[in-house]
């Protein structure tokens, strides 16, 4: 992007905003909320570049426990802010992001929202609830549909308990996960524990 960039600063509705305008191409706005839950220093967009992968943004960062969300809209004064597309999820801890070339057909206004996240309570229980029971026949049908009936022969009915808990994502940020605990009913003694995991689901 060879065009000259102009900066502007303003304060409105409790926000400190740092705006960078690229005439005829796109407009970028970086804001931070002055609230306890937000990062204390608003991020400032420091670099805007046109690359083969689209529009690349970089901004100032605060270090550990700070995460960012990039949002966009097509007007400075009207329209709802929407989270920008990305391969993973918002917020994330990095101070850069690229917009796809396919989404850049019209002018866009961007802003970066910063928030300070509390340390994750890894393994902390969030919710738990009973999902009822399954008879031995229903357990057999469940295993049949799952393609497991050839090597598993259920002998007892089971009760089901669903729980959610806090863990961390690949970047060390807090994230919610869930699990299902299935307990055999009427067993004459201790039974071995079986654990089944599946791939991450969005």
Q: Cβ neighbours of residue 128 under 8 Å, at least 6 residues apart?
A: 161, 162, 163, 164
Predicted confidence band of residue 12 (pLDDT cuts 50, 70, 90): very low
Structure confidence by residue, pLDDT tens digits, 169-188: 888 888 999 999 999 999 88
Over residues 29-39, the mean pLDDT reads 41
Q: Cβ neighbours of residue 13 under 8 Å, at least 6 residues apart?
A: none
**CA 75 from centre of chain:** 25
| Domains annotated on the chain, with CATH | 6-116 (2.60.40), 125-184 (no CATH)
Q: Distance between CA atoms of 187 and 156, rounded to whole angstroms?
A: 7
Predicted confidence band of residue 64 (pLDDT cuts 50, 70, 90): confident
Confidence (pLDDT) at 16 = 32
Predicted confidence band of residue 32 (pLDDT cuts 50, 70, 90): very low
- Count of CB atoms within 10 A of residue 31's CB? 21
Confidence (pLDDT) at 102 = 66
Q: Distance between CA atoms of 123 and 102, rounded to whole angstroms?
A: 40
First-to-last alpha carbon distance for the chain, in angstroms, is 35
């Amino acid at each position: 992007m060879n065009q000259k960039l102009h900066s502007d600063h303003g304060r409105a509705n409790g926000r400190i905003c740092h705006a960078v305008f690229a005439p005829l191409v796109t407009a970028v706005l970086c804001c931070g909320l002055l609230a306890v839950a937000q990062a204390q220093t608003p991020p400032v967009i420091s670099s805007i570049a046109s690359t083969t992968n689209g529009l690349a943004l970089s901004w100032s960062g605060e270090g550990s426990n700070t995460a960012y969300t990039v949002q966009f809209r097509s007007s400075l004064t009207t329209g709802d802010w929407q989270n920008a597309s990305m391969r993973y999820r918002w917020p994330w801890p990095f101070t850069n992001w690229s917009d796809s070339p396919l989404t850049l057909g019209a002018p866009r206004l961007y802003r970066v929202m910063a928030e300070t996240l509390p340390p994750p309570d890894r393994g902390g229980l969030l919710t738990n609830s009973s999902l009822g029971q399954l008879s031995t026949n229903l357990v057999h049908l469940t295993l049949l549909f799952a393609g497991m009936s050839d090597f598993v022969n259920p002998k007892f009915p089971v009760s089901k308990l669903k729980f959610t808990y806090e863990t961390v994502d690949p970047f060390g940020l807090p994230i919610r996960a869930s699990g299902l605990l299935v307990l055999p009913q009427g067993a004459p003694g201790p039974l071995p524990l079986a654990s089944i995991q599946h791939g991450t689901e969005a």
